[in-house]
Amino acid sequence: MKAVCVTPDRDLEVRDVPEPTAPPEGHVVVDIAACAINHGDHAFLKTRSLRNMPATLLDIWGSSGAGRVIAIGTGVPADYLGRRVAIYRSLSMIHSTQTAGLWSEKAQVHYLSCLILPDSVDARDYSGSLVNVLTAYAFLRQIVEEGHCGIVATAGNASTGRALVELARREGMPVLAIVRSAAARQELADMVAEHVLDSSALDFENRFAALAQQLRATAVFDGVGGGLVTRIVPLLPMNAILYSYGFLAGSEPVSFPTALLNDKNLTLRPFSNFASATVQDPKRLATALTVLGDGIDHPAFLTRTGNSFALDQIAAAMSADGQCKSILMPHQQAQPLN
């Protein structure tokens, strides 16, 4: 079968590799319908200074995808066989060394990397979104256990932000979502959110301060950093914790008087889905996948897809621009590119 593999120098190349047929205990073989190129793939492959490249069988790359389970190993629940699943293989790398990447015609992963999809949905629509949905779920579980009553989501209209707003809504947890334009504000409000602020509006700071206090939004899920964090930190309620998850602002610095750390009892800390209690504990992860699967057919959980490419077009797929994820279609033939 064809697969996109990573070289020791972190280049990508298409190879013919053996097809997985008999998965080991706890694993499944999935006929891949579509797989996504995540932002993390670009970051890791381009940043040669990053260490600890996660090993995969046959050096096949790719962590997000969707397809149909065609074989199961011992210990895998029987209801996985024949079902379409969304996959994020990195979820259970802590439990397994027998995974193969998803940029291939068929993949082998631990079943706890898979969320069973309803028969009514298109697998392509979930080829890159399980990471976002699981991250939002894990964050929500953590802040509920820590006693927070409300959330600020700085990248409210990003995929993880949308998922967080919808999951929190189901639990009655208010979210103050921040977006960057009036159009994004309307889009998010129409889909899931009750409290959405446009950071480009003239009255943003005043409205943010009032709403953050009203909603007791002491848990900040920050996917932006930079100037936006500089603006909101002085306006946060007492005892707020800013959880840094994403870096849409790039290298733009954050600046505020350190006295605010004392004045507001402010805490700054990272958040990683890999390190969360939900992902670290196999039982909690299994529960999360079941809970999420029951309501996964909401628009907030869809993968925002861009152009689609055959595996042989991986170079063009990696260079494609846009906010939506490029999608690889393993069973699609390469087409001429204009």
Domain boundaries, the chain: 2-129+302-328, 132-270
Asked if the model's pLDDT at residue 94 lies above 60, the reply is no
How many other C-beta atoms lie within 10 A of the C-beta of residue 92? Answer: 20
Residue 56 has what pLDDT? 78
* Mean pLDDT, rounded, of the chain: 91
pLDDT at 107 over 60: yes
Residue 283 has pLDDT above 90, yes or no: yes
Place of tokens 């439990």: 95
Say if CB 231 and CB 166 are below 8 A apart. Answer: no
For 179-183, 304-308, 321-325, which range has the lowest pLDDT when averaged over its residues?
A: 321-325
Other CB atoms within 10 A of residue 90 CB? 20
Structure tokens at 30: 């999935």
The pLDDT value recorded for residue 2 is: 96
Residue carrying structure tokens 């802040």: 143
The reported pLDDT for the residue numbered 241 is 98
In this prediction the pTM is 0.93
Domains 2-129+302-328 and 132-270 share a fold: no
* Residue 42 or residue 303, greater confidence: 303
Residue 66: pLDDT band (50, 70, 90) is very high
CA 72 – CA 57 distance, rounded (Å): 17
pLDDT at 16: 96
CB atoms within 10 A of CB 252: 15
Can you tell me the mean pLDDT for 50-78? 86
Separation CA 255–CA 259 (nearest Å)? 12
The pLDDT of residue 44 is above 90: no
Write down the pLDDT at residue 45.
Answer: 79
Range in 94-108, 135-149, 168-182, 209-223 with the lowest mean pLDDT: 94-108
Sign of the Cα torsion 191, 192, 193, 197 reads negative
Residue 336: per-residue pLDDT: 62
Band of pLDDT at residue 46, cut at 50, 70 and 90: confident
Which CATH class, in words, describes the domain spanning 132-270? Answer: alpha beta
pLDDT digits (tens, 9 = 90+) for 135-193: 999 999 999 999 999 999 999 999 999 999 999 999 999 999 999 999 888 888 887 76
SS3 216: coil
Domain 2-129+302-328 in CATH 3.20.20.80? The answer is no
pLDDT tops 90 at residue 82: yes
Percent of the chain with pLDDT over 70: 94
Kindly state the percentage of the chain with pLDDT values over 90. Answer: 74
